[in-house]
Amino acid sequence: MPKNLDLFSAPAQSEQAQAAIKIGALRRQLDRWAHQYYVQDAPEVPDAEYDRAFRALQALEAQFPECVTPESPTQRVGGAPRPELTPVRHAVPMLSIHTETDVSPAGALAFDARVRRELGLAPDAPPVAYVAELKFDGLAMNLRYEAGALVQAATRGDGEVGEDVTHNIRTIRQIPLRLPSDVPAILEVRGEVYMARADFERLNEAQRERGQKTFINPRNTAAGAVRQLDPAIAAQRPLRFFAYGLGEVTPVAQGGPDFATHFDLLQQLKQWGFPVAAQTTQALGASELVAFHERIAAERDQLPYDIDGVVYKVDSLALQRQLGFKTREPRWAVAHKFPAQEMVTRIEGIDVQVGRTGKLTPVARLAPVFVGGVTVTNATLHNLFEIRKKGVRVGDEVIVRRAGDVIPEVVGVVPGKRPSYVANFRMPRQCPICGSAVVREPGEANHRCTGGLFCPAQRKEALLHFAARRAMDIDGLGEKLVDQLVDGAVVRTLPDLYRIGLVGLTALERMGEKSAQNLLAALEKSKSTTLPRFLFGLGIRQVGEATAKDLARHFGSLDAILQASTEQLLQVRDVGPVVAEAIHTFLAQPHNVEVIEQLRACGVHWPEGPPAERTQLPLAGMTVVLTGTLPTLSREAAKDLLEAAGAKVAGSVSKKTSYVVAGEEAGSKLAKAQELGVPVLDEAGLRALLGQGA
Ligand code: IVH
């Protein structure tokens, strides 16, 4: 009876009402995510999260079919094409591949067993021949060539209908626009468009420098680039391509190619100019598939691009036809995945690390998560602005990516999972390692420790810089030795270098008495230096060789520099506010001044003079070019002398060159000087010019 029914269905109706609310919420969520993914190229959740919500919606809609509307995301599989991109119906549908669930190498055994069973092979029948390929983590593309010319490039879409993206695909240099004359009249090449990891890192580095939002991963970036409406933007996102199959091709009966195996077909594609991955190989039986899986899993990190697994395909095209398809998947191919390179985990804290150059990097401490084949407990957050842009806070659930040997990074926050109120992260004002002031240079995104050579985190870098040829020129003090000296706590600060004795040195591993003697001699020799070299060697940010020379020339003595105000520093040629500020900050740290004093106390010395005006120097306004080998003066020494006398030392000869100083084996520069009539000097001539000669 209707009346009774109404009564009985009352609770059900409220259940349906509740479901409707939930369905509405899921749809809004999915639409928002789809918009981020497809339109903004900036998804905030991993695909797996999207899929989970999508399946939840599908399940609810199946339970309450009255709630299904044409606008539901479930009703437009693959996401709606942008209205501006033209739909393309594929001549041959673009299928998907079955994914083997067992991620261990043994997953290959299951596939082989299935193939053998479906082919009706006896257990003692010979092994099946396969092709093993990489499973590229990009997006599938169908390239249609007619009479050898690229006429259309289309995305996979839902497999039946994709989108015309020819305008963007034409910008990919790896994709031939025209093929050799022996190609069939109709040829559709299928493969993967992807972005190499290094290109992705470079792109993100540039985004970070410009203070713009970074991209999540190479795949999303490639997908976004391909679906750009403006090919100029696509062209700025360096994309690449690997071919792995065919779509529609002129039939054999009409003169089309007749391949016996998938491998032959790939060789032909290579011949026609398409990139085919070098790892692609023929493999006999399950054991060789397992070996391939193991080999590629070990090589994965070294590959220049992301892969999410390997693909096995039955090699014989006749057997492929015999095996056929099961719904939308071929029975002759399978995808065998590797561990995911992106996972969700929780941030337990944010630490700050100090790098060798003094850069402060916020690092997320994570609930341990297995990603990219290893357990990750830390991931970089790059800098404060990245944290702000991504809205990362302690307690958040975040997406962590680890691909290749690139350090793991937090690429985004899973929204709506923040526990209760958590304070925004702040950069420390003092270096967590040495306590020196932390600064951020105008226009720079990075914070830096000003401790320089005082900061233990920067010690090795500071020592190497101090010892460099253009600085104190300490022969033999290279990276390995610096590592030993610092790790063995033999050297803590720069002055310690001049306090090492023979005993301390020979105690080091792999340090013989002879090398120790040599190093001590080099250290002794380095004590006699020039003010510019010393200043440059201190490693003050913004103070390169040229600025060090300008400072030395302008002030004449170190004490004058130490006492200079910012205003006085600004009077030095080429010193602007940024440089003046960097020098001032460095000298304002008492421990830096202390180091300088101690170095002097150790016997480091240089000639000093009164402050000099550039125009008063004897060679002011002259430009000199050095070429060839001089009998006694090294190139560096000659340069130092000339510059101290006010001359500019240039690298190439022009009509404006005042002199060319030529030594033995002088080449094209000498010839150029003679051609232009520029006066040429030898070492004696140079000394005369400098007022040292006879
Ligand atoms: S073959 C009938 N080979 O994986 C088989 N696909 O679900 C058609 N993919 O989106 C695909 N590497 O873009 C094939 N070596 C490879 C592949 C590969 C990556 C992607 C493809 C598609 C998905 C298949």
**123-152 residue pLDDT tens:** 999 999 999 999 999 999 999 999 999 999
Q: Please check whether residues 459 and 604 belong to one and the same domain.
A: no
Which contiguous run of DSSP H or E holds residue 161? strand 161-163
Q: Residue 371: what pLDDT?
A: 93
* Closest atom of ligand 1 to CA, residue 96: 7
pLDDT tens digit sequence for 530-574: 999 999 999 898 899 989 999 998 999 999 999 998 889 988 887
Distance 608 CA to ligand 1 centre (A): 71
- Domain for residue 665, yes or no? yes
Range of the structural domain that residue 160 is part of: 99-337
Take atom 24 of ligand 1 and give the residue whose Cα is closest. 96
Residue 156 labeled ligand binder: yes
Q: What phi and psi, each to the nearest 5 degrees, are found at residue 66?
A: -65, -20
Distance 94 CA to ligand 1 centre (A): 9
- Domain for residue 153, yes or no? yes
What CATH number does the domain containing 560 carry? 1.10.150.20
- Domain for residue 247, yes or no? yes
Statement: residue 174 has pLDDT above 90: no
Q: What confidence tier does 437 reach under pLDDT thresholds 50, 70, 90?
A: very high
Q: Residue 7: what pLDDT?
A: 42
Q: Is 135 a catalytic residue?
A: yes
Distance 313 CA to ligand 1 centre (A): 10
Statement: residue 31 has pLDDT above 50: yes
Q: Which string of DSSP letters, residue by residue, matches 167-209?
A: HHHTT-TTS-SB--TTS-SEEEEEEEEE--HHHHHHHHHHHHH
Q: What is the mean pLDDT of residues 299-326?
A: 95
* Closest atom of ligand 1 to CA, residue 97: 7
Lowest-confidence segment of 302-311, 583-592, 610-619 by average pLDDT: 610-619
* Closest atom of ligand 1 to CA, residue 192: 13
* Domain-terminating residue out of 319, 337, 355: 337
pLDDT tens digit sequence for 599-642: 999 999 999 877 765 456 778 778 999 999 999 988 888 988 88
* Closest atom of ligand 1 to CA, residue 329: 2
Lowest-confidence segment of 7-11, 47-51, 570-574 by average pLDDT: 7-11
Q: What is the mean pLDDT of residues 12-35?
A: 82
- Domain for residue 142, yes or no? yes
Tell me how far apart the alpha carbons of residues 497 and 240 are, in angstroms, rounded to a whole number: 50
- pTM for the structure as a whole: 0.65
Question: Domain tally for the chain?
Answer: 5
Q: Please check whether residues 222 and 142 belong to one and the same domain.
A: yes
Q: Residue 41: what pLDDT?
A: 56
Distance 97 CA to ligand 1 centre (A): 6
Q: Tokens 């991993």 — which residue?
A: 46
Q: Please check whether residues 322 and 394 belong to one and the same domain.
A: no
Q: Please check whether residues 110 and 200 belong to one and the same domain.
A: yes
Q: Is the CB of 90 under 6 A from ligand 1?
A: no
Statement: residue 465 has pLDDT above 70: yes
Q: Please check whether residues 355 and 310 belong to one and the same domain.
A: no
Distance 272 CA to ligand 1 centre (A): 21
Q: Is the CB of 306 under 6 A from ligand 1?
A: no
Residue 52 labeled ligand binder: no
Statement: residue 75 has pLDDT above 90: no
Whole-number mean pLDDT of the chain?
A: 88
Enter the DSSP assignment of 53: H
Q: Which string of DSSP letters, residue by residue, matches 564-589?
A: --HHHHHTSTT--HHHHHHHHHHHHS
Take atom 3 of ligand 1 and give the residue whose Cα is closest. 244
Q: Please check whether residues 252 and 104 belong to one and the same domain.
A: yes
Q: Residue 486: what pLDDT?
A: 86
Q: Quick count: other Cβ atoms within 10 Å of Cβ 308? A: 19
CA distance to 135, 173, 277, 293, 310, per residue, from 300 (Å): 11, 25, 13, 10, 10
Q: Please check whether residues 174 and 186 belong to one and the same domain.
A: yes
Q: Which string of DSSP letters, residue by residue, matches 514-532?
A: HHHHHHHHHHHHHTB--HH
Q: Is the CB of 99 under 6 A from ligand 1?
A: no
Take atom 21 of ligand 1 and give the residue whose Cα is closest. 140
Statement: residue 48 has pLDDT above 80: no
Higher pLDDT, 693 or 580: 580
Q: Is the CB of 397 under 6 A from ligand 1?
A: no
What CATH number does the domain containing 439 carry? 2.40.50.140
Give SS3 for 11: helix
The preferred substitution site among 97, 280, 326 for testing ligand 1, maximizing ligand atoms within 8 Å of CB, is 97
pLDDT tens digit sequence for 498-525: 998 888 888 888 888 898 999 999 999 9
- Domain for residue 173, yes or no? yes
Residue 50 labeled ligand binder: yes
Instruction: Confirm if 138 and 192 have CB atoms less than 8 A apart.
Output: yes
Q: What is the mean pLDDT of residues 636-664?
A: 88
Residue 9 labeled ligand binder: no
Statement: residue 4 has pLDDT above 50: no
Take atom 7 of ligand 1 and give the residue whose Cα is closest. 96
Q: What confidence tier does 83 reach under pLDDT thresholds 50, 70, 90?
A: low
pLDDT tens digit sequence for 213-271: 889 899 999 999 998 888 778 878 899 999 999 999 999 999 999 999 999 999 999 99
Percent pLDDT > 70 in the chain is 94
* Domain-terminating residue out of 599, 615, 631: 615
Q: Please check whether residues 323 and 200 belong to one and the same domain.
A: yes
Q: Is the CB of 333 under 6 A from ligand 1?
A: yes
Take atom 16 of ligand 1 and give the residue whose Cα is closest. 135
* Domain-terminating residue out of 276, 309, 337: 337
| Catalytic residue of the set 3, 135, 417, 655 | 135
Q: Is the CB of 311 under 6 A from ligand 1?
A: yes
Residue 51 labeled ligand binder: yes
Q: Is the CB of 451 under 6 A from ligand 1?
A: no
* Token couple for 358: 């003094």
State CA 109 to chain mean position distance.
36
Q: What is the mean pLDDT of residues 468-481?
A: 92
Take atom 6 of ligand 1 and give the residue whose Cα is closest. 135
Q: What confidence tier does 199 reach under pLDDT thresholds 50, 70, 90?
A: very high
The preferred substitution site among 135, 274, 320 for testing ligand 1, maximizing ligand atoms within 8 Å of CB, is 135
Lowest-confidence segment of 202-211, 344-353, 391-400 by average pLDDT: 202-211
Q: Residue 35: what pLDDT?
A: 61
- Domain for residue 473, yes or no? no
- Residue 282, strand partner residues: 131
Distance 111 CA to ligand 1 centre (A): 16
* Closest atom of ligand 1 to CA, residue 141: 13
Higher pLDDT, 621 or 431: 431
Distance 190 CA to ligand 1 centre (A): 9
Take atom 9 of ligand 1 and give the residue whose Cα is closest. 135
Q: Please check whether residues 202 and 259 belong to one and the same domain.
A: yes
Q: What confidence tier does 9 reach under pLDDT thresholds 50, 70, 90?
A: very low
Q: Is the CB of 323 under 6 A from ligand 1?
A: no
What CATH number does the domain containing 41 carry? 1.10.287.610
Residue 305 labeled ligand binder: no
- Residue count of the chain, please give it: 694
Q: What is the mean pLDDT of residues 438-456?
A: 85
Q: What is the mean pLDDT of residues 453-464?
A: 86
Q: What confidence tier does 299 reach under pLDDT thresholds 50, 70, 90?
A: very high
Distance 39 CA to ligand 1 centre (A): 24
CA distance to 49, 419, 528, 629, 651, per residue, from 636 (Å): 61, 62, 15, 11, 13
Q: What is the mean pLDDT of residues 271-278?
A: 93
**Among 679, 634, 675, which residue's Cα sits nearest to residue 661?**
679
- Domain for residue 65, yes or no? yes
Q: What confidence tier does 80 reach under pLDDT thresholds 50, 70, 90?
A: very low
Q: Which amino acid is at 177?
A: L
- Domain for residue 482, yes or no? no
Q: Residue 528: what pLDDT?
A: 96
The preferred substitution site among 131, 133, 192, 312 for testing ligand 1, maximizing ligand atoms within 8 Å of CB, is 192
Q: Residue 173: what pLDDT?
A: 82
Tell me how far apart the alpha carbons of residues 46 and 41 are, in angstroms, rounded to a whole number: 13
Helix, strand and coil content of the chain, in percent to the nearest 5, comes to: 40, 20, 40
Q: Residue 70: what pLDDT?
A: 63
What CATH number does the domain containing 631 carry? 3.40.50.10190
Percent pLDDT > 90 in the chain is 56
Distance 319 CA to ligand 1 centre (A): 19
Q: What confidence tier does 694 reach under pLDDT thresholds 50, 70, 90?
A: very low
Q: Please check whether residues 117 and 231 belong to one and the same domain.
A: yes
